[in-house]
A and B are shown apart, each in its own frame.
Chain A
Amino acid sequence: MKDDSALRRWFVEEVLPFEPDIERFLARHCRVRDDVVDLRQEVYEHALMGAQRGIPQSTRAFVFTVARNLLIDRARRDRIVSFDRVADLDLVGEMDISATDRAYTAREELRRAMIGLERLPPRCREVVRLRRVEGLNIRETAERLGVGHHTVERQLTLGLRALANFMLGGEGRIERQTPKKLRRKDAP
């Protein structure tokens, strides 16, 4: 097993704080919201690939270059995109990155978490609250609410995604769909 701790630290501390900016940048160049999430994940994957060979000097410039190259590749595959759009992408260096101070204090983080929790649908909120605030595990939560283990796990998984997304500066929306088929061998 390789030791990923340096790579992980770089990704968490240097890349993730730019998530709202990366999403805004990608959204400017593609209209479908689903595509933005896919592209964002692709940007992360390529960024990690590059950083495995050596942590870049300037994370911001590096990550946005990765994003730009991905968009150009996509534009080449998608014949519909006009050339000015591609030319536009060269301006990435001049991009206005919102210079907000992203270091949340513990208190702001708590407030944000409380707001994120409030935004979840009621059933999901209750399950996440019991896990995160009261510290109950799935079995205890299922007993407390009188529902099945599977229901609690599903709500908790949805809630985890939405709340994590919100804590990283996103909308904190619930992703309703779940994969239709989990192949048996992958299922933990």
Chain B
Amino acid sequence: MTAARQIEHRAATWLVRREQPDWSAEDEAALQAWLNESLAHKAALWRLERGWEAADRLAALRSDRTVRLRVSLWRGPAIRALAACVALALTGTLIARSDSIVPRAVEPVGLTTQIGQHRQVRLDDGSLVTINTASALRAVVDKRQRQVWLDRGEAFFEVAHDPRHPFVILAGDRKVTVLGTRFSVRRDGETVTVSVVEGRVRLEDAQGGGKGAAAIMTAGDVAVSQGRSTLLADRSSRQIEDALSWRRGMLSFDKVTLADAAAEFNRYNRRQIRVADPKAAAIRIGGTFEATNVEAFARLLRSAFGLQVVEEEGVITVKS
């Protein structure tokens, strides 16, 4: 460990402790003394303080949040300032170590979400499941087996590594066996969509035993199955990230048609968007939106695209 890193580590430790309730006047004096030892200490602390403060925006995600909407039209050279940063960081698999975080026990029962709600549940094996809007799943995870049934909706799985007990998800007549760590499964009736962010999963017929019926998917792959047929597509990890932005309570669209965007909104809200004519339905939009703020989305369609928006009880109609 180099000297600069040692100083940085020390500075980070000070900052973490300073935020704790037991921070005392003596601690403060000790910190000031350390800062006055050298400008290198000041540089390190001020730098981390700045970056950590910037991350304080995350507090906006606490339960009720208001994120400003922004839409980018794809007619001009609209470049997302952050597109470059959306590259997925490949985190390693969770390796149980002596100091690993012990998950709280969760009863192997049904887990459901209401429309517009999403929740995170940690299973007994340490795997983390993020359940999307209007979904239902059942899980049995114990010493002997790890199995989840997705009855409807969508869930994102971060699976704890345990090669001896494969993690199996059954969605309709599809069976997904986890060989890696992070992926989502979405079920719309009999259509099952699996998107892999990281690692590998095996997708096959739930009955199993079918020769050649299994597809091994790796990071960036998306498989859509209907009945017996499975379409494997390769999507950029950027698109997968967009598709999974619901985990943050946001929907991200990149050049998708208004018809598709409306359908996506409709999964999260009782108040449905209806696109009345094909011309409006074909408009391509991009941007990041709050999933449950359908009214703001409609207002934006009116002001940014000059579409007509008629708001009624339970339905918002959009037309050219």
Contacts and interface: CB of A to CB of B under 8 A. Distances in A.
Interface in A148-175: 148, 151, 153, 156-158, 160-161, 163-168, 172, 175
Nearest to B105: A146
Identify whether the interface residues of A are mostly helix, strand, loop, or mixed.
helix
A166 B68 CA distance: 22
Interface in A1-60: 1-2, 4, 8, 11-12, 16, 19, 34, 37-38, 40-42, 44-45, 47-49, 52
A148 B101 CA distance: 9
A138 to B, nearest CB: 6
B51 A157 contact: no
Most chain B CB within a 10 A radius of its CB, from A16, A110, A145, A146: A110
Given A123-B100, A133-B58, A112 B10 contact: no
Interface residues of A, number: 75
Contacts of B56: 132
B58 A147 contact: no
Contacts of A163: 51-52, 55
A89 interface: no
Interface of B is mostly: helix
Interface stretch (B14-22, B188-196, B255-263): B14-22
A117 interface: yes
Contacts of A70: none
A148 B99 contact: yes
B47 A160 contact: no
B82 A110 contact: no
Nearest to B57: A110
Given A110-B57, A146-B104, A48 B17 contact: no
A119 B82 CA distance: 14
Interface in B162-183: none
Contact of A114 (B1, B4, B58): B58
B296 interface: no
Contacts of A42: 4, 40
B102 A45 contact: no
A77 interface: no
B42 A133 contact: no
B101 A110 contact: no
Contacts of A48: 39, 42-43
A104 B102 CA distance: 38
Contacts of A94: none
A157 B36 contact: no
Contacts of B92: 121
A112 B87 CA distance: 12
Contacts of B10: 179, 182, 186
B162 to A, nearest CB: 14
Contacts, number: 194
A90 interface: no
Interface string B23-46: 000010011101010111011101
A44 B47 contact: yes
B47 to A, nearest CB: 6
Contacts of A122: 91, 94, 128, 158
Given A44-B43, A157-B16, A113 B58 contact: yes
B99 to A, nearest CB: 5
A107 B55 contact: no
A109 interface: yes
A41 B44 contact: yes
A10 to B, nearest CB: 10
B14 A161 contact: no
B151 interface: no
Given A109-B57, A164-B52, A172-B89, A157 B9 contact: yes
Nearest to A157: B12
A119 B87 CA distance: 9
Nearest to B26: A188
Contact of B101 (A108, A126, A133): A126
In the A-B complex, the 8 residue pairs with the closest CB atoms: A164-B51, A119-B89, A44-B43, A41-B4, A110-B57, A167-B54, A167-B51, A132-B58
